[in-house]
Amino acid sequence: MLKIIWVILSIVLIGLIFLRTPQNQGLASFSTKSNLLGSPSSAEQFLNNLTIVLMLGYFSFAVFLNFSS
């Protein structure tokens, strides 16, 4: 059961990382970017937090499954 959760978690993480697109498109965007060091939007902040939580869960499952085998 834990291995199934671990596989699903890894697939969701891979999908989430691939769906996230970078904000800049190279050096040309530095001249047009107004909030270069500003805070990210609430949706981007939520995705950042979700990615961190899922990564911590993934690594926790990986360590647990490694020691239980």
Ordered by start, the domain boundaries in the chain are 1-14+41-69
Q: Is 60 helix (H, G, I), strand (E, B) or coil?
A: helix
Residue with tokens 């291995």: 3
**Got the DSSP string for 20-50?**
PPPS--STTHHHH-S-TTSPPPHHHHHHHHH
Q: What is the pLDDT of residues 28-67, one digit of tens each?
A: 554 555 554 455 578 778 888 888 999 999 999 889 888 8
Dihedral angle of Cα 51, 56, 58, 54, to the nearest 10 degrees? -30
pTM of the model: 0.65
